[in-house]
Amino acid sequence: MTDHNFSIEFFPPKTPEGAEKLRTARARLSELNPKYFSVTYGAGGSTQQGTLSTVLEIMEAGQQAAPHLSCVGGSRESLRAVLAEYKSHGIRRIVALRGDLPSGYGGAGELRYANELVEFIRAETGDWFHIEVAAYPEMHPQARSPQDDLKNFERKVKAGADAAITQYFYNADAYFAFLDNARKLGIDVPIVAGIMPITNYTQLMRFSEMCGAEIPRWVRLKLASFGDDSASIKAFGLDVVSALCERLLKGGAPGLHFYSMNQAAATTAIWQRLV
């Protein structure tokens, strides 16, 4: 695994207790020696300070970190200020997204899609940032068709993205088909597979409904059958996700990006099965 592009995602904690828990989780996850940690960014800039302070804390501990940046709800001026701040702290890597506005939030902002954000970052800061963008092997839920979504992905790469991280999925074939289709279009940036460990059935169903990730029927039924038996859910989840990761790496995935949910145990357990 060490020669692969292995990264771990956090979200900015909202409370001092959350921050302390994240510190403990990060210390444990650092032992796995990931290439970098990334930190999400609330749409409309809602976590702007939390994202930055979490990233700076990671960097102060001697690890590489990448803030996410989403353009929805923002102005060119506000995005320019965030980029300048990231740059002034010596941050060299960014995950560029459109984001999703909570319902009831005002206007969509000046940049409508992530390809426009990538273009803006390149125009403002040249090659300073290594830019990662999102990719959707099972199609973004708002796209008109898989072909359209792939074309839109191509736009982001052409605008200057260096690499991509996928939405999570449990169907390896969807990922491999996406890689093939991207290669056919001449897209040759690394497309790292996003991995969501399975630890909580209700939460997984809720997230997957929102982001359009399919939970295979046999996995869903088995998880449901465990009811409140959290230990069995975690044990089965570990088997399923470790087997998925193994298949992805064997099949040519350039790396794995773990959606850790600020927890160390599940990512560590999967990792230990892979090394």
Q: Which residues are catalytic?
A: 9
Binding residues vs ligand FAD (CB under 6 A): 40-41, 43, 68, 70, 95, 97-100, 113-115, 134, 140, 142-143, 148-149, 152, 155-156, 165, 167, 194
Nearest distance, CB of residue 46 and ligand FAD, angstroms: 9
Strands of 72-162, DSSP E: 93-97, 130-135
Query: Closer to ligand FAD at the Cβ: 102 or 227?
Result: 102
Query: Closer to ligand FAD at the Cβ: 29 or 233?
Result: 29
**Could you give the CA distance from residue 275 to residue 255 in angstroms, rounded to a whole number?**
13
Nearest distance, CB of residue 248 and ligand FAD, angstroms: 15
What residues pair up with 259 in beta bridges, in sequence order?
Answer: 9
Block residue for tokens 């828990």: 21
Give the DSSP letter string of 18-54. Answer: HHHHHHHHHHHHHTT--SEEEE---GGGTTHHHHHHH
Nearest distance, CB of residue 123 and ligand FAD, angstroms: 16
Query: Closer to ligand FAD at the Cβ: 69 or 233?
Result: 69
**Could you give the CA distance from residue 126 to residue 264 in angstroms, rounded to a whole number?**
35
CA 231 to centroid of chain Cα atoms: 26
Query: Closer to ligand FAD at the Cβ: 63 or 70?
Result: 70
**Could you give the CA distance from residue 102 to residue 44 in angstroms, rounded to a whole number?**
9
Nearest distance, CB of residue 226 and ligand FAD, angstroms: 28
Query: Closer to ligand FAD at the Cβ: 116 or 223?
Result: 116
Given a contact cutoff of 8 angstroms between Cβ atoms, the answer to whether 101 and 44 are in contact is yes
Who's near 246: CB < 8 A, 6+ residues apart? Answer: 273, 274
CB atoms inside a 10 Å sphere around CB 24: 11
Nearest distance, CB of residue 44 and ligand FAD, angstroms: 8
**Could you give the CA distance from residue 195 to residue 8 in angstroms, rounded to a whole number?**
9
